[in-house]
Amino acid sequence: MADPLRRDDWASKAHGWVRNQRVFDHAFTPFTDALLAAARIGTGMRVLDVGCGAGTLLQAALDAGAEAVGVDIAEAMVAAARERAPRASVHRGDAQTADLLALDGGTPFDRVISRFGVMFFSDPATAFANLRAACAAGGELAFVSWREGETDLFTYGLEPLRAELADPPGPPADDTAGPMGLATQGHVGSVLRDAGWVDVEVVPLVGTCDFGLDGSDGVDERLSVALAGTVGIAVREELFPIVGQQAWDALCEKARSDMRRRMVRGSVCFDSRAWLVTARNPPGTSRG
């Protein structure tokens, strides 16, 4: 079986993410709203968005009157974020190891936030300690990560393609660096506590991801997102060389018809599970 995690390379995946950014923003609305409500970003705060992608949260932080700083490991994401949120300061770097204070002027952050950008660290406790080192004493962390049991996000719409493979790639493993890297409550809690965060709260969320964009039925949008994701890339790499273009196109068409049959109120929708995680940097610990 192909190992989708080995393909979890943001340098190449970033282009698909940027291309589908409006779809992600629409589909992830429930998670974005919950995260921003928990983060309580206020005027004049310094906010660090970790794994900022194409800049959605950076723009939200700016809209809330904050000073927004983004860090992302992928060049294509950094370029897209700079375009999307020109008033934000966006840096390319590995948030696990980069000196995040030195990256941006040395003033600690009041908020460290992330929408699905903090599950990819090879050493999560070190990474979250590094994030804490950039946070002001008493400052807060708020992020969302995919929760154990989530499968549709990775496989919905790909069923006819996966069915062609004897041992198709499935959703990534829980608590292993990748999209499901912070999947179980116990793991998330121990990572954060090991990293020195306190008042850790890990709350389950269920959100309806709606792929219908600007009145569309969301079928093409969902297929595009699914094929650009961890499982979709692995399926294509395995299946396409075996079946060739014509059969691949026919299978994609079948995927579209299947999704049309399952639409809810006129668009492709399904519920996804995430954690809403909040924590605090204890007083007297900032190095800024």
Q: Which of 48, 103, 116, 279 binds ligand SAM (CB under 6 A)?
A: 116
Where do the H-state alpha helices sit in the chain? Answer: 10-19, 21-27, 29-39, 56-63, 75-84, 100-103, 124-133, 152-155, 159-162, 185-194, 219-228, 230-261
Q: Which of 20, 56, 145, 230 binds ligand SAM (CB under 6 A)?
A: 56
Q: Are strands 109-115 and 89-92 parallel, antiparallel or unpaired?
A: unpaired
Q: Please say whether the dihedral angle defined by the alpha carbons of residues 42, 44, 45 and 49, taken in this order, is positive or negative.
A: positive
To ligand SAM, the closest distance from the beta carbon of 66 in angstroms equals 16
Tell me: does residue 143 bind ligand SAM (CB under 6 A): no
Which residues inside 15-44 make contact with ligand SAM, applying CB under 6 A? Answer: 17, 24
Closest by CA position to 134, among listed 95, 189, 78: 95
Report the distance separating Cα 182 and Cα 284, nearest Å: 28
Report the distance separating Cα 243 and Cα 226, nearest Å: 19
Query: For ligand SAM, which stretch binds (CB under 6 A), given 38-46, 114-122, 246-254, 277-285?
Result: 114-122
Q: Which of 35, 39, 77, 113 binds ligand SAM (CB under 6 A)?
A: 77
Tell me: does residue 96 bind ligand SAM (CB under 6 A): yes
Q: Which of 67, 72, 110, 150 binds ligand SAM (CB under 6 A)?
A: 72
Residues that bind ligand SAM (CB under 6 A): 10, 14, 17, 24, 51-54, 56, 71-74, 77, 94-96, 114-117, 120-121
